[in-house]
Chains A and B, each alone.
Chain A
Amino acid sequence: KQEVTQIPAALSVPEGENLVLNCSFTDSAIYNLQWFRQDPGKGLTSLLLIQSSQREQTSGRLNASLDKSSGRSTLYIAASQPGDSATYLCAVEGGKLIFGQGTELSVKP
């Protein structure tokens, strides 16, 4: 059974810092991995989708990597801003999406 774990559960950083969020999964038989952002009381916004054949995807200040063999993905956020404060969720798809519990990020001005 696929399990997805995100560490840390919460993270607080000063503005301008580069940071890394971690996601691990137990079954490497996946089609793709997605990173989402969730603002309080809102739905999810898709940030990046990495196909199983890809190693990384980039969008602006965000870079996500995927290492299927080790069951790990990282989301790198460069030059963090207060507007980046949100919960970040990763999810793996192997027929259906299985979500991690999320990392709550707070970027202090």
Chain B
Amino acid sequence: DGGITQSPKYLFRKEGQNVTLSCEQNLNHDAMYWYRQDPGQGLRLIYYSQIVNDFQKGDIAEGYSVSREKKESFPLTVTSAQKNPTAFYLCASSMFQGGSGQPQHFGDGTRLSIL
């Protein structure tokens, strides 16, 4: 079955620790995205990537880092510089990026909490 797999489902971070959230897709999509969702708020874009080895900052990139070494994978690292990391993190992908009329497909999310 084609889709997007995010892992782990739940993650806990200690003070000063970096943690990495995994996102893998087998849809052969070019573009991938990371969003953050806080209670009562819509999704906000953290980073996005249109092609391998290239990525762009979204609206709230501070305290986060990404890599895109393979088309299928777009891991997100939440660094110790992100002072309020508790949120629901969603990964998405689409055939192309921006204005293509292609819908974004989402994973089931990772819930990150502070210990």
Give the B-binding residues of A (Cβ under 8 A): 4, 31-32, 34, 36, 41-46, 49, 51, 89, 91, 93-102
* B103 with A42: CB separation less than 8 A: no
Q: How many Å lie between the Cα of A91 and that of B98 in the bound state?
A: 13
Chain A residues with Cβ below 8 Å from B41 are: 101
Question: Nearest chain A CB to B102's CB is how many angstroms away?
Answer: 8
Q: How many Å lie between the Cα of A43 and that of B9 in the bound state?
A: 11
* A96 with B101: CB separation less than 8 A: no
Is the C-beta of B104 less than 8 angstroms from some C-beta in chain A? yes
Chain A residues with Cβ below 8 Å from B98 are: 31, 93, 95-96
Q: Contact check: which of A36, A41, A51, A98 meets B101 at CB < 8 Å?
A: A51
Query: Per DSSP, are chain A's interface residues mostly helix, strand or loop, or mixed?
Result: strand
* A97 with B101: CB separation less than 8 A: no
* A49 with B103: CB separation less than 8 A: yes
With contacts defined as CB atoms under 8 Å apart, how many contacts are there between chain A and chain B in the complex?
60
Is the C-beta of B90 less than 8 angstroms from some C-beta in chain A? yes
Question: Nearest chain A CB to B22's CB is how many angstroms away?
Answer: 14
Give the A-binding residues of B (Cβ under 8 A): 4, 6, 33, 40-45, 48, 58, 88, 90, 92, 98-101, 103-109, 111
Question: Nearest chain A CB to B45's CB is how many angstroms away?
Answer: 6
* A46 with B108: CB separation less than 8 A: no
Chain A residues with Cβ below 8 Å from B6 are: 43
Q: How many Å lie between the Cα of A32 and that of B104 in the bound state?
A: 12
Q: How many Å lie between the Cα of A89 and that of B40 in the bound state?
A: 12
Question: Nearest chain B CB to A29's CB is how many angstroms away?
Answer: 11
* A31 with B99: CB separation less than 8 A: yes
* A31 with B101: CB separation less than 8 A: yes
* B99 with A93: CB separation less than 8 A: yes
Given contacts A31-B101, A34-B103, A44-B90, contact A100 B108 (CB under 8 A): no
